[in-house]
Amino acid sequence: MPFQPESFRSWRSYDRRSLVADVLSGVTVGVIALPLAIGFGIASGVTPNQGLWTAIVAGLVISLLGGTRFQIGGPTGAFVPVLALIVAQHGYEGLALATMMAGVMLILMGALKMGRLIKFIPYPVTAGFTSGIAVIIFTGQLNEFMGLGLKMPDHVPQQVGVLWAHLAATNGYALGLGALTLLIAFGLPKVARKVPPSIVAVIVCTVLTQWLHLPVATIQSKFGTIPSGWPGWHFPAVSLDLMRELMVPAFTIAALGAIESLLSAMVADGLADTRHDSNQELIGQGIANVLTPLVGGIAVTGAIARTAANIRNGARSPLSGVVHSFMLLLVALFAASYAGMIPLACLSGILIGVAVRMAEWDTFPEIWRGPKADFAVLMAAFTLTVIFDLTIGVGIGLMMAAGLFVKRMEELTQIKLVTPETEVESGGHSIAGKDVPEGVVLYRIEGPFFFAAAEKLEAALRNSGGRPRAVILRLRNVPTMDMSGLHAFEVVVHKLRRDGVRILLTAVQPLPFAVMEKAGLVELIGRAKFCADIDEALAKVRKVFGGEAIA
């Protein structure tokens, strides 16, 4: 079926034990997601209520319509720098429209079965921008973590300058609450793995703040009371001019959402021994991003940490994600005002903890020990993401990785002049000891023949030493040929024919042959010139030079 969410298949062997397991896991993940949804909403430049309702809608839609069994969707840290910048430049209306545009792009990507392509993004690029995002989140949260309450600039270098200039104004109480949050976040799992550290940190810090009347900023003091109840419908204004301005940000949201959601799905497959449908997952993510702005929400994707927690707590089906969503819905409808008491330093501490776990620092020495060109790609993606923004970091990283790939593929392709004296290959395909008529040159081409290898063929022919009477091209080890390689090959054929040089090809594989046949090159060369092996080619050359036509 072209549209078959995982939730449609997961009920086939469902029982009461699965229901209990899903409910318990969903409640636990809902508790974990509560402070993260509020925190990511604030960090993205919108209100706590918008972050909460984003998690509610996204959690429900992605669980019901996605292509994975255990995916938990919602706002994530990866989106924070992108969404905050859009809000700063275009306001929430621009963010809502960009999110819906990104949703449509994701749906199209899934419908066009592009899910597999996302997996081919090079690991150095992924690790680089992920670690760069972690640095952006970490730096951006230091403002509230230190209790400064400043209006921060958009980029990390300027943020560091502002924080340094106001270091003396640090609120010690806020800093203490933030440090306590980090202590709980990293220490509690070592003694009680089943207890969600983020919610414990929120409860402890909130109680301390209210009991001791600590002079620190809370969600309520900065944003007002979080309203309980339905937020109402929100329909963003749509205009062609605004859509043009938001096309690049929307594409960034779509690309980042696709990458992170499919990475999360792959992590889930590894933990639970399942197999996800990448195209269906993109469709589910796209629908969620179209719908969340209707309740004032922001962009969403699969959340790796929450998905992993869902699996570790015994989830059996997408119902656990639905329960997680309803858990958050109960808070939004009946207890949202209590969330206003949470100190901002505590939320910042939670997000700093997320950033620390998110950064892939262990990959830096790992990639450093490999090819240095890959490390250069990693550092470019990381540095440009931190200094400028995610779009530039990922774009330049992908360009460098693509160039590196082309270079390596070009190095794989070898075009060698072969003579009976220089032949190193043995067996039936060897020309060692065979009679090669005078004026006949043989070239062995090995590796994919594409645009980067085309110049090698021309250079090899130029260095053959005079004009040959015939050229035999041995293509047994050429698995594929692209259109640029085909064009270069065709140019060479025309030059040789113009100079009266006969051309024969041996052992052409099916894929390159099909490419040449569709382009008409087979007919141009002549089907009789395509030989099964070197012996057949040499026999035909001898007939030509003996006065007989090739048949």
Domain check: are 448 and 471 in the same one?
A: yes
Phi/psi at 338 (5° precision): -65, -30
Alpha helices in 113-231 (DSSP H): 115-118, 123-145, 156-165, 172-191, 197-212, 219-223
Q: What is the CATH number of the domain that holds 528?
A: 3.30.750.24
Cα distance between residue 149 and residue 163, in whole Å: 11
- Say whether 122 sits in a helix, a strand or coil: coil
Name residue 260's amino acid.
E
Domain check: are 39 and 139 in the same one?
A: yes
Contact yes or no for 52/38 (Cβ under 8 A): yes
Final residue in a domain of this structure, among 372, 403, 434: 403
Cα distance between residue 489 and residue 467, in whole Å: 18
350 CB burial (10 A radius; 0-12, 13-18, 19+) = buried
Is the pLDDT score of 366 beyond 60? yes
Domain check: are 89 and 134 in the same one?
A: yes
Contact yes or no for 402/394 (Cβ under 8 A): no
Cα distance between residue 266 and residue 116, in whole Å: 12
Domain check: are 348 and 435 in the same one?
A: no
Q: What is the pLDDT of residue 121?
A: 81
Residue at 288 is within a domain = yes
Q: What is the DSSP letter of 490?
A: H
Cα distance between residue 187 and residue 193, in whole Å: 10
Average pLDDT, the chain: 89
Is the pLDDT score of 551 beyond 50? no
Integer CA distances (angstroms), 542 to 6, 19, 351, 389, 506, in order: 64, 79, 77, 65, 15
Give the tens place of pLDDT for each residue, 90-126. Answer: 999 999 999 999 999 999 999 999 888 777 788 898 8
Domain check: are 291 and 392 in the same one?
A: yes
Name residue 128's amino acid.
G
Name residue 231's amino acid.
P
- Give the pTM: 0.78
Domain check: are 378 and 482 in the same one?
A: no
Phi/psi at 442 (5° precision): -120, 135
Q: What is the DSSP letter of 224?
A: -
Final residue in a domain of this structure, among 369, 403, 437: 403
Report residue 454's pLDDT band, with 50, 70 and 90 as the boundaries: low
Contact yes or no for 297/37 (Cβ under 8 A): no
- Say whether 131 sits in a helix, a strand or coil: helix
Phi/psi at 446 (5° precision): -130, 130
Give the tens place of pLDDT for each residue, 397-412. Answer: 889 988 888 787 777 7
* Greater model confidence, 76 or 462: 76
Is the pLDDT score of 38 beyond 60? yes
User: What mean pLDDT do residues 261-279 have?
Assistant: 88
User: What mean pLDDT do residues 341-360 have?
Assistant: 91
Is the pLDDT score of 547 beyond 60? no
Is the pLDDT score of 255 beyond 70? yes
Domain check: are 454 and 399 in the same one?
A: no
Cα distance between residue 374 and residue 461, in whole Å: 33
Residues of the chain with pLDDT > 90: what percent? 52
Contact yes or no for 66/318 (Cβ under 8 A): yes
Q: Biggest alpha carbon distance in the chain?
A: 107
Scan for tokens 């060897």, then name that residue.
Answer: 430
Residue at 551 is within a domain = no
Contact yes or no for 293/236 (Cβ under 8 A): yes
Round the CA-based radius of gyration of the chain to a whole number and report it.
Answer: 31
Is the pLDDT score of 336 beyond 60? yes
Residue at 1 is within a domain = no
Q: Which pair of tokens denotes residue 444?
A: 């062995």
User: What mean pLDDT do residues 317-334 have?
Assistant: 94
Q: What is the DSSP letter of 314?
A: T
Domain check: are 146 and 13 in the same one?
A: yes
The 10 Å CB-count burial string (b at 16+, else e) for 75-85 is bbbbbbbbbbb
Q: What is the residue range of 496's domain?
A: 414-545
Residue at 140 is within a domain = yes
Alpha helices in 194-334 (DSSP H): 197-212, 219-223, 240-272, 278-291, 304-312, 319-334
Q: What is the pLDDT of residue 178?
A: 96
Half-sphere exposure of 500 (CA within 13 A, CB side): 4
Give the tens place of pLDDT for each residue, 478-499. Answer: 998 888 788 888 888 888 888 8
Contact yes or no for 6/280 (Cβ under 8 A): yes
Structural domains counted in the chain = 2
Domain check: are 317 and 255 in the same one?
A: yes
Domain check: are 207 and 143 in the same one?
A: yes
Name residue 528's amino acid.
A
Is the pLDDT score of 548 beyond 60? no
Cα distance between residue 35 and residue 306, in whole Å: 12
Residue at 408 is within a domain = no
Strand order through the sheet with 414-418: 414-418, 440-446, 470-477, 502-506, 530-531
Residue at 258 is within a domain = yes
Cα distance between residue 9 and residue 320, in whole Å: 15
Domain check: are 168 and 118 in the same one?
A: yes
Enclosing H/E stretch for 474: strand 470-477
Query: CA triplet 389, 391, 395: central angle to 5 degrees?
Result: 125
Q: What is the pLDDT of residue 422?
A: 72
Residue at 550 is within a domain = no
Is the pLDDT score of 466 beyond 70? no
Is the pLDDT score of 518 beyond 60? yes
Domain check: are 57 and 100 in the same one?
A: yes
Residue at 316 is within a domain = yes
Q: What is the pLDDT of residue 491?
A: 84
Final residue in a domain of this structure, among 403, 431, 463: 403
User: What mean pLDDT do residues 306-312 have?
Assistant: 89
Q: How many CB atoms lie within 10 A of CB 98?
A: 32
Sign for the CA dihedral angle at 258, 309, 48, 388 comes to negative
Task: Report the DSSP beta bridge partners of residue 442.
Answer: 418, 472
Give the tens place of pLDDT for each residue, 391-450. Answer: 788 889 889 988 888 787 777 788 888 887 777 666 566 777 788 888 888 888 888 887
User: What mean pLDDT do residues 225-240 have?
Assistant: 90
Q: How many CB atoms lie within 10 A of CB 312?
A: 16
Q: What is the pLDDT of residue 415?
A: 84
Is the pLDDT score of 227 beyond 70? yes
